[in-house]
Amino acid sequence: MAPMTTELATLRALSFRISSTVTAQLPQHVPAIAASLSSCRTLLSSTQTSNAKSSSEASVAVHKFRTLLSTLLQDRTVQGRWSAIVLIKATIEVGGWETLQKGLPWVRGLLSILSKPDPPTSKKLCIVTLTRIFMLTREYPTLVREITTPSLPAFVQAGLQIAGSRVPPSLLLTILESFSELLPRHPTIFRPHLKTLRPLLCRLVAPTPSSGLSGDQSQDAISTEISDAARRLLVQLPCCAPKGASSEEWENALRTTVGGVHRVADRVFRAVLEDWQSTVREASANGHALDGEVQDLEDDYLSLPPWSGIFAGSERLVGLIQLVRQYLNSPTTNVVTFKVGVVMDLITRILSLTIPTSGSKSFQNTVRINKQISKEERENLWLVMPAVHVAAIELFLSMARRLQASTLAIDTLVLDQLVWVFGSEKDNAQVRTACYKALAVLLERSGVTLPKSSVDSLVPLIRTCCEDLLPSETAPAVVKDTPGQAKSKGNSQPQGSANADSFLGSKTVSDPTASFPGLRDAAFDLLPELLSDVRAQLFSDFLRARLDRTAVLVQHKDAMLASVLNPPPSKKFGKPTASILPLLARSFQGDHDIEGIMRPRVPVIRLGNQDTELDGGVEEEDEAEVDEEEEEDVEEEAQADESFVGQELDTMLRTAGETDVVMRDSPTHMAAENPATAAEAPSKRPHAGETPLSPAKRVRFDEAKWTAAPAMPPAVSAAIPPVEDPKSAEIPATSDFTVSSTASAIPDLPAPGEGGDDSDDDDDDAVPLVFGQDSDDDSE
Amino acid sequence: MLTEQFVAAISGSTKPNTGVTKDQGIFIHEFQPLAAQRHVFKKSATAQNGIAVSSTHIFAAQTEKAIVHVYSREKGNQEAIVPFPERIHSIVLAAQDTVLLLGAESGRVLAWEICSGRLVSTSTSHLQPVTSLVVDPSSNFFLSGSADAMIHVWALPSILSFSPDTSRSPVHTLSTHRGPVSSIACGHSSSTANIAVSTSGDKTAIVWDYHNGQALRTYLLPETPTAVTLDPADRACFIGYADGSLQTIDFYDDIQKSTSTDVLRDVSSSHRPMQPSPKTRFGAESQKLGATLSLSLSWDGTTLVSGHSSGKIASWDIAKSNYLSTLANLSGPVSNLHFLRPTGFSNTREPTFKIPTIVKPKQDAGLTGSSSGLVPPNYNLSMQFTGSLDAPSVSATGPRFAKTSSFAEALTHPSFPTSMLEESLAELNSWIAPSKGSIVTTAPLAAPSQTDDVEPSAASKDASSDEVTELKKQIATLKGVQKATVDQLLKLREEKEYLVNKEKKRGKAKRKTRASNGDNDVDMSDGDENES
pLDDT for residue B446 = 39
The whole-angstrom distance between B494's CA and the closest CA on chain A is 16
CB nearest to A406's CB, from B222, B319, B381:
B381
pLDDT of B199 higher than 90: yes
Interface contact B191-A532, CB threshold 8 A: yes
Sheet of A336-339: strands edge to edge? A336-339, B380-385, B353-354
For the segment A631-638, the average pLDDT, to the nearest whole number, is 42
Nearest CA in chain B to A247: B384
Is the separation of the CB atoms in A143 and A97 below 8 Å?
Answer: yes
For the segment B76-98, the average pLDDT, to the nearest whole number, is 92
Query: What predicted TM-score, i.e. pTM, was given to this entire model?
Result: 0.76
For the segment A429-456, the average pLDDT, to the nearest whole number, is 91
pLDDT for residue A169 = 87
CA distance A761 to A769: 13
pLDDT for residue B108 = 92
Interface contact B423-A121, CB threshold 8 A: yes
Confidence category of residue A758, pLDDT binned at 50, 70, 90:
very low
Q: Which of A141-145, B311-315, B470-474 has the lowest mean pLDDT?
A: B470-474
The phi, psi pair for A169, rounded to 5°, reads -60, -35
Nearest CA in chain A to B393: A394
CB nearest to B254's CB, from A122, A132, A654:
A654
Between A149-164 and A194-205, two packed helices, what is the crossing angle to 10 degrees?
Answer: 40
Q: Which of A389-403, A492-506, B383-397, B423-437 has the lowest mean pLDDT?
A: A492-506
For the segment A450-476, the average pLDDT, to the nearest whole number, is 84
Nearest CA in chain A to B120: A409
For A682-701, the DSSP string reads TTTGGGGGGTTS-HHHHHHH
- Chain B residues within 8 A of A653 when measuring between CB atoms: 277, 279
- Chain B residues within 8 A of A677 when measuring between CB atoms: 222
Nearest CA in chain B to A25: B443
The whole-angstrom distance between A213's CA and the closest CA on chain B is 26
pLDDT for residue A449 = 87
pLDDT for residue A739 = 38
pLDDT for residue A709 = 39
* pLDDT tens, position by position, B463-506: 555 677 888 888 888 888 888 888 888 888 888 888 888 888 77
Question: Quick one: DSSP state of residue A751?
Answer: S
* pLDDT tens, position by position, B235-265: 889 999 998 899 998 887 666 666 656 667 7
pLDDT of B60 higher than 90: yes
For the segment A36-59, the average pLDDT, to the nearest whole number, is 74
Interface contact A607-B380, CB threshold 8 A: no
Looking at per-residue confidence, does A485 or A587 come out higher? Answer: A587
CA distance B527 to A230: 36
CA distance A218 to A679: 96
pLDDT for residue B449 = 41
- A 412-471: CB under 8 A from B: 412-413, 429-430, 432-434, 437, 446, 448-449
Interface contact A322-B393, CB threshold 8 A: yes
- The share of chain A scoring above pLDDT 70, in percent, equals 64
Range among A302-316, A473-487, A652-666, B63-77 rated most confident: B63-77
pLDDT of A477 higher than 70: no
Question: Quick one: DSSP state of residue A147?
Answer: I
Nearest CA in chain B to A680: B222
Q: For the range B362-369, what are the long-range contacts, defined as Cβ-Cβ under 8 Å and sequence gap of 24 or more?
A: B362/B117, B362/B118, B362/B119, B363/B85, B363/B119, B365/B117, B365/B118, B367/B116, B367/B117, B367/B118, B367/B119, B368/B118, B368/B119, B368/B120, B368/B121, B369/B120, B369/B161, B369/B162, B369/B163, B369/B164
* pLDDT tens, position by position, A245-303: 889 999 999 999 999 999 889 888 988 888 777 776 665 555 555 666 777 776 666 77
Interface contact B98-A405, CB threshold 8 A: yes
CA distance B532 to B529: 5
Interface contact A404-B352, CB threshold 8 A: yes
pLDDT for residue A202 = 87
Confidence category of residue B527, pLDDT binned at 50, 70, 90:
very low
pLDDT for residue A321 = 95
CB nearest to B280's CB, from A35, A406, A608:
A608
The whole-angstrom distance between A174's CA and the closest CA on chain B is 6
Q: Is A576 on the interface with B (CB under 8 A)?
A: no
* pLDDT tens, position by position, B286-300: 888 899 999 999 998
CA distance A282 to A611: 75
For the segment B453-462, the average pLDDT, to the nearest whole number, is 46
Q: How many CB pairs under 8 A join A and B?
A: 383
Confidence category of residue B273, pLDDT binned at 50, 70, 90:
confident
pLDDT for residue B480 = 86
Q: Which of A161-165, A632-636, B239-243, B410-414 has the lowest mean pLDDT?
A: A632-636
pLDDT for residue A190 = 92
Looking at per-residue confidence, does A756 or A510 come out higher? Answer: A510
CA distance A540 to A553: 20
Q: Is A282 on the interface with B (CB under 8 A)?
A: no
Average pLDDT, rounded, for chain A: 73
CA distance B246 to B238: 7
Rg (CA), chain B: 38
CA distance B268 to A762: 19
pLDDT for residue A284 = 56
pLDDT for residue A510 = 55
pLDDT of B9 higher than 90: yes
pLDDT of A725 higher than 70: no
Interface contact A605-B233, CB threshold 8 A: yes
pLDDT of A513 higher than 80: no
User: What sign for the dihedral angle of Cα B224, B229, B235, B236?
Assistant: negative
The CA-atom distances, in angstroms, between A86 and each of A7, A16, A495, B424 are: 20, 17, 68, 11
pLDDT of B222 higher than 80: yes
Burial code of A42-70, b = ≥16 C-beta within 10 A, e = fewer? ebbebebeeeeeebeebbebbeebbebbe
Burial code of A568-601, b = ≥16 C-beta within 10 A, e = fewer? beeeeeeeebbbbbbbbbeebeeeeebeebbeee
The phi, psi pair for B514, rounded to 5°, reads -120, 5
pLDDT for residue A772 = 36
Q: How many residues does chain B have?
A: 532
Looking at per-residue confidence, does A12 or A753 come out higher? Answer: A12
CB nearest to B384's CB, from A181, A335, A605:
A335
The whole-angstrom distance between A236's CA and the closest CA on chain B is 11
Interface contact A79-B387, CB threshold 8 A: no
Interface contact A688-B285, CB threshold 8 A: no
Residue B241: CB atoms within 10 A of its CB come to 22
CB nearest to B415's CB, from A93, A332, A430:
A93
Looking at per-residue confidence, does A42 or A509 come out higher? Answer: A42
Q: Is A494 on the interface with B (CB under 8 A)?
A: no
pLDDT of B134 higher than 70: yes
pLDDT of A556 higher than 70: yes
pLDDT for residue B206 = 93
Residue B2: CB atoms within 10 A of its CB come to 12
Is the separation of the CB atoms in B274 and B220 below 8 Å?
Answer: yes
Instruction: Give which of A89, A94, A98 is closest to A126, Cα–Cα.
Output: A89
Is the separation of the CB atoms in B246 and B238 below 8 Å?
Answer: yes
pLDDT of A442 higher than 50: yes
Is the separation of the CB atoms in A125 and A85 below 8 Å?
Answer: yes
Confidence category of residue A473, pLDDT binned at 50, 70, 90:
low
User: What sign for the dihedral angle of Cα B369, B372, B375, B378?
Assistant: negative
CA distance A11 to A5: 10
Interface test with B, best of A40, A223, A406, A412 (most B CBs within 10 A): A406
Confidence category of residue A127, pLDDT binned at 50, 70, 90:
very high
Rg (CA), chain A: 38
Average pLDDT, rounded, for chain B: 82
pLDDT for residue A743 = 38
pLDDT of B102 higher than 50: yes
pLDDT for residue B68 = 94
The whole-angstrom distance between A711's CA and the closest CA on chain B is 14
CA distance A478 to B469: 87
Q: Is A89 on the interface with B (CB under 8 A)?
A: yes
For A552-618, the DSSP string reads HHTT-HHHHHHHHHSPPPPSSTTPPPP-SHHHHHHHTTT-HHHHHHHS--GGG---S-TTT-SS--H
Is the separation of the CB atoms in B275 and B219 below 8 Å?
Answer: yes
3-state secondary structure of A330: coil
* pLDDT tens, position by position, B367-405: 666 666 778 888 889 999 988 887 777 887 776 566 677
Q: What is the H or E stretch that residue B271 is in? A: none
Interface contact A609-B253, CB threshold 8 A: yes
- A 749-778: CB under 8 A from B: 754-755, 758, 761-762, 765
Confidence category of residue B202, pLDDT binned at 50, 70, 90:
very high
pLDDT for residue A213 = 65
